[in-house]
Amino acid sequence: MTTTMMRLRQHLGLVSSPSIYTSAIARFGNNTPHRRRTTRSRTMSSSASDAAPFEKPRAVVKKVLAESQPEGQGATVRRSIGRHELRNLDPFLLLDEFTVYKPAGFPDHPHRGFETVTYMLEVRCVCSTQCFAPLLFCSTHASCSLKRPHPCGSGYWLLQGAFTHQDFAGHKGTIKTGDVQWMTAGRGIVHSEMPAGDGVHKGLQLWINLSSKDKMIEPRYQELESKDISRGESEDGGVEARVIAGEALGAASPVYTRTPTMYVDFTMRPGSRLHQPVPEGWNAFVYVVDGEGVFGRETATAHYCLVLGPGDGVSVWNRSTRPLRFVLVAGQPLGEPVVQHGPFVMNSRAQIQKAMEDYYYGKNGFERAGQWSSSA
């Protein structure tokens, strides 16, 4: 190893479990055409029958509790995929449920070789009357300054959750409650993600691997405001879906998934059932955001990640007295070697060393890194 590379390795802190956001940021204080790819599916909801319309229903094969840990600058995340119990689930590299208060956040940091999907969640709880507001639940929360009366008369919608994003290519914007940002880092991005205001800011961030042929493509963004996210509903009104990628309950997302992906946010009334097809051969998991549900034969509550085994669909039953909210994510495996060091994900150790060198010396996609810093 050359003296230069030894200094580079020492500078970037090559350790076995580097912070994914900050391990490589000590030095620095032509999108592709849009195409639509969706997964054709047939989805049903039933409150009268347990019968699942699947030849090979998917069962839960692993259950991981997302425990809190520090990340970024003063932020807290609940990590499920990416923990030692679940290093990755091809093509998924990481899933964080983050909770951030100013001045904490995720300051300037680089990425290469994968995509990040940031989905902002509303801060909410369930009111005493158990009303079922579309995709938002309410509660009396007198200490919250960001609220407005809810039609049920006994509580509030809590309207918090927004992140300001900036990158070294000049892209800047705010991802508000319910919005989605699908960022393809490709050959290189340096960016920051910081709270846009006071209060609590919650969301999910999913990392999706790119195939070897796509790892060095130019960065690009797909962004959807909450009002533009496709929504579906079961015939009996018991299940609602916000379709971030793929299809569910008759709704299809316009997002182009370079690595074929399904990502759906489901909300289920008490007593409702859902039978959701999932493409055979894809890896799939569920992350419970709120409430309690039965997934196949496994019961899970908030902050649990459930890895689903092979099959053609998953059945869910909300047998509790509270609404259930979870995301179902599935993707086509890449079947390629995964070598990760913090914010760089490539196919070999040599490519990781090259990514660190490119970042350190400002080349091959990182030319603007040395002269840029966010205004956050």
Say which residues have a Cβ less than 8 Å from residue 266's Cβ, sequence separation at least 6.
239, 240, 241, 248, 274, 276, 316, 324, 325, 326, 327, 328
Query: Is 34 flagged in the annotation as binding?
Result: no
So what's the pLDDT on residue 181? 96
The CATH code of the domain that includes 93 is 2.60.120.10
CA–CA dist 330, 282 (Å, integer): 6
The tens digit of pLDDT for each residue in 20-57 reads: 554 444 433 333 333 333 333 444 444 334 556 899 99
Average pLDDT over residues 64-71: 94
In a domain, 27, yes or no: no
So what's the pLDDT on residue 302? 95
Average pLDDT over residues 289-301: 96
User: For the stretch 124-162, what's the b/e string if a residue is b when 16 or more beta carbons lie within 10 angstroms of its beta carbon?
Assistant: bebbeeebbbebbbbbebeeeebbeebebeebbbbbbbb
In a domain, 162, yes or no: yes
So what's the pLDDT on residue 233? 95
CA–CA dist 265, 240 (Å, integer): 8
The tens digit of pLDDT for each residue in 177-216 reads: 899 999 999 999 999 999 988 878 899 999 999 999 999 9
Is the pLDDT confidence value at 331 over 80? yes
Query: Is 109 flagged in the annotation as binding?
Result: yes
Kindly report which listed range (97-111, 113-127, 128-142, 189-203) carries the lowest average pLDDT score.
Answer: 128-142
So what's the pLDDT on residue 20? 58
Query: Is 367 flagged in the annotation as binding?
Result: no
Q: What is the mean pLDDT of the chain?
A: 82
In a domain, 51, yes or no: no
How many domains are contained in the chain?
A: 1
In a domain, 289, yes or no: yes
In a domain, 375, yes or no: no
Query: Is 84 flagged in the annotation as binding?
Result: no
> Is residue 297 within 8 Å of 369, Cβ to Cβ?
no
Average pLDDT over residues 121-136: 47
In a domain, 22, yes or no: no
**Kind and range of the H or E element at 358?**
helix 349-361
Token readout for 187 is 């050959």
Kindly report which listed range (96-105, 111-120, 239-248) carries the lowest average pLDDT score.
Answer: 96-105
So what's the pLDDT on residue 146? 41
So what's the pLDDT on residue 182? 97
> Is residue 198 within 8 Å of 102, Cβ to Cβ?
yes
Q: Which domain holds residue 312?
A: 59-126+151-361
**Kind and range of the H or E element at 7?**
helix 3-12
